[in-house]
Amino acid sequence: MNKVSLILSRGIARVTGSALGPYQSAVIRIGFAGTWLLFLLREFPHRQELYGPNGPWGWSLAKELTADNHAFTALLWSDGQAWFECFYLLAIAAGAALLLGWRTRTASVLFMVGVLSLQNRSVFVGDGGDNVLHLMSFYLVFTRCGQVWSLDARRATRAAAARARGERVPADRVGPLLWAVLGLGLLVATFTGRFDNGWLIPALLWTAWVVLAMWWAVGRWAKSPEPRILLDVIANVLHNAGLLVIMAEACLIYATAGWYKIQGSRWQDGTAVYYPLHLDYFSPWPGLADLMSSSGTIMMIVAYGTVMVQVAFPFTLFNRRVKNVLLVLMMIEHAVIAVVLGLPFFSLAMITADAVFLPTPFLRRLGALAARARGRVVRRGERTVPGPRSPQESPQGAA
């Protein structure tokens, strides 16, 4: 009994004392933000047809649908062209800010608002990856995904180093300014009745706004460490719970997909992969599709292998080696889907969801390699930039 109590107390201390998986949460932050940002930039010339007020799914139809399913979308606050253009640019800016880890807490909330608003505006636009991104944008709000590989982490490291040297760190002005602007926007949206389709998203937005204010106030004025410790504990619990939900969601996606495939006759006889390869919508490279589908053996292996990997993956999480092998296989599978079937954003979203299970040592080595590569690029750029010329070399000196 004492041993069980000791294990339980250690587990509680670990969950409340630190935000677990900092590298995994950073990877999914970068992956989902990058996927969304690439999608918005790629579809920028087609944004009117996809989400604009003049698209096939008209403003009145979207208004009627959201009134029935209570989905949140800020794009229906106005049917004007200027509002749509400003909001689309705001969604791009939020995705870029979350990708870089700039003001991550605020950026994650704005990222969620952008994803939900655009996707709920035209629910029939998407390829499956949008559903994953839809869910993960909500879960990311609860995670501390800017602990590493972010501008926030770099700023915190520099501030800590300055304090260690006895230097004065200037007060943060950008954070309070963002907080004031977003608070004003929330007030206007609330008192003008914009949040009339449901209470969940406005409650989450107001909670995040109040928590950010408390965090700043405690860091600025609290004389004892207890309030900050309490906020850290709450943030760690929410982060760890959010990360667990993300992992469970990924497992659920694969488990349900695999078990539903088992029930399909085309998957049972091994011909399911053949048919999408010969649909014009999923054939960006017809020659490559014909080459793959020319062998019935390859089609059967791919079909059976897909089902076995998806069904088996949730059960391999307790065996690190087998789990890592299946992770590689699933990532390769999604990379092939991106090229052969022309579904790059679906594949990027699923690869990012898989990345939450990557081992920490591998992610650290990957980060070190990226840092070294960036250092080489910076040094090479510094060598190519000519330095200042001496007075003898300059025209003024010669004169």
Q: Distance between CA atoms of 104 and 141, rounded to whole angstroms? A: 9
Task: Please tell me the distance from the alpha carbon of residue 339 to that of residue 341, in angstroms, as a whole number.
Answer: 6
The pTM of the full predicted model, rounded to 2 decimals, is: 0.92
Q: What is the pLDDT of residue 393?
A: 44
| Residue written as token pair 């004065």 | 168
Please report the pLDDT score of residue 154 as a whole number: 94
Q: pLDDT tens-digit profile of 71-98?
A: 999 999 998 899 999 999 999 999 999 9
Map out the domains of the chain as residue ranges: 19-154+186-243
Q: How confident is the model at residue 391 (pLDDT cuts 50, 70, 90)?
A: very low
d(Cα 229, Cα 274) in Å, to the nearest integer?
57
Greatest alpha-carbon pair distance for the chain in Å reads 91
Mean pLDDT over residues 286-293, rounded? Answer: 85
pLDDT range class, residue 385, cuts 50, 70, 90: low
Tally Cβ neighbours within 10 Å of residue 391.
Answer: 9
Q: Do 205 and 186 contact (CB within 8 A), yes or no?
A: yes
Helical spans, DSSP H, in the chain: 2-17, 22-42, 47-51, 59-69, 81-100, 104-121, 129-140, 151-164, 174-191, 200-221, 226-263, 265-268, 286-293, 296-312, 320-340, 344-355, 360-384, 395-398
Q: What is the pLDDT of residue 396?
A: 39
Tokens 């004007």, residue located: 80
Here the tokens at position 259 are 């078990």
Distance CA 14, CA 102 (A): 27
